[in-house]
């Protein structure tokens, strides 16, 4: 049977809350208690003050220690009362208190201000820039995609007839035009400028026929 006084219960809850040990119903109960118990905030403050002092390292001058200025909190609350619940509806629109219902619904789709919210021209520029970027990428992509399809056709069109010829290495398949070229230059046999049989190098040398200049 719980024989603790409500005040003690509240304080113990606050103590556990200060340690981050409350979840669920206990957490909600602690906050509820703060709404009802005037002294709860002072206790909450003193628990934190005690922790601050106990954690102060030795030989270090103590910072300004005092109870929290509840007047400060009151003044802040007055100002906050004039504030809309900024983005409050983001998490759970239904849980916003009814008094702020209108504001909550107004902010239901608020995603926070963008830096260019106030400048329509910037939005226009950003839109054009995006469009230009997409167009450039699409242009490049279409060029790349088209190449593989057309290349084989060009190769096919350029393909020349082939012939089978006998060579010292056996039967060889050659381009017919190459064969014509070789036949036309067959009489150029002899040593090339490199002193190797020209028959081997005839494809790579461009010696003029010996009697051409005569």
Partner 1 sequence: MSTDLPPSQAEKAVDSDAMLVERTVAGDQKAFELLVIKYQRRIQRLIGRMVRDVDLVEDIAQETFIRAYRALAQFRGEAQFYTWLYRIAVNTAKKALMDLKRNPTVSENSFKSGDDDETSPLENELTSSETPDAVLASKEIAEIINAAMDALPEELRQAITLREIEGLSYEEISEAMSCPIGTVRSRIFRAREAISEKVKPLLENQSGKRW
69 binds partner 1 (CB under 8 A): yes
- What CA–CA distances, in Å, run from 78 to 36, 72, 95? 19, 10, 22
Residue 56 C-beta: closest distance to partner 1, Å: 7
66 binds partner 1 (CB under 8 A): yes
Residue 20 binds to partner 1 (criterion: CB under 8 A): yes
Sign of torsion over alpha carbons 44, 48, 54, 58: negative
Show the binding pattern over residues 71-100: x = contacts partner 1 (CB under 8 A), - = does not.
Answer: xxx-xxx-xx--x-xxxx-xxx--xxx--x
Six-digit token string for 60: 């270090």
> Which listed residue (1, 109, 112, 154) binds partner 1 by CB under 8 A?
112
How much is the CA Rg of the chain, to the nearest whole Å?
A: 46
Q: How far apart are CA 73 and CA 99, in angstroms?
A: 21
Q: Does 39 bind partner 1 (CB under 8 A)?
A: yes
* Among the listed residues 24, 28, 29, the one whose alpha carbon sits nearest the alpha carbon of residue 6: 29
Residue 45 engages partner 1 in binding (rule: CB under 8 A): yes
Q: How far is CA 21 from the centre of its chain?
A: 36
108 scored as a contact of partner 1 (CB under 8 A): no
Both tokens assigned to 187: 């009489």
Residue 46 touches partner 1, criterion: CB under 8 A = yes
Instruction: Give me the least distance between CB of 119 and partner 1, in Å please.
Output: 21
In this structure, the strands spanning 170-175 and 162-167 are antiparallel
Decide: helix, strand or coil at residue 49.
helix
Interacting residue with partner 1 among 5, 6, 67, 185 (CB under 8 A): 67
Output the smallest distance, CB 112 to partner 1, in A. 6
Cβ–Cβ < 8 Å for 192, 198: yes
Residue closer to partner 1 by CB (options 62, 193) is: 62
Residues in touch with partner 1 (CB under 8 A): 11-12, 15-23, 27, 31, 34-35, 39, 41-57, 60-73, 75-77, 79-80, 83, 85-88, 90-92, 95-97, 100, 104, 112
């Amino acid at each position: 049977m719980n024989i603790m006084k409500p005040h003690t219960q509240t304080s113990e809850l606050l103590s556990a809350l200060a340690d981050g040990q409350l979840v669920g119903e206990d957490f909600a109960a602690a906050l509820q208690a703060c709404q009802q118990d005037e002294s709860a905030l002072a206790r909450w403050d003193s628990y934190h003050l005690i922790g601050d002092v106990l954690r102060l390292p030795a030989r270090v001058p103590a910072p300004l220690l005092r109870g929290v200025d509840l007047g400060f909190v009151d003044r802040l609350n007055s100002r906050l009362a004039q504030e809309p619940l900024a983005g409050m509806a983001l998490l759970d629109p239904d849980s916003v208190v009814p008094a702020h219902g209108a504001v909550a619904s107004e902010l239901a789709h608020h995603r926070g201000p963008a830096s260019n919210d106030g400048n329509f021209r910037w939005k226009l520029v950003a839109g054009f820039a995006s469009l230009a970027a997409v167009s450039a990428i699409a242009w490049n992509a279409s060029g790349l995609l088209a190449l593989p399809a057309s290349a084989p056709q060009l190769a096919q069109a350029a393909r020349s007839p082939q012939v089978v010829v006998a060579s010292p290495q056996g039967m060889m398949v050659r381009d017919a035009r190459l064969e014509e070229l070789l036949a036309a230059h067959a009489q150029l046999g002899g040593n090339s400028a490199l002193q190797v049989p020209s028959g081997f190098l005839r494809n790579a040398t461009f010696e003029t026929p010996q009697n051409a200049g005569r």
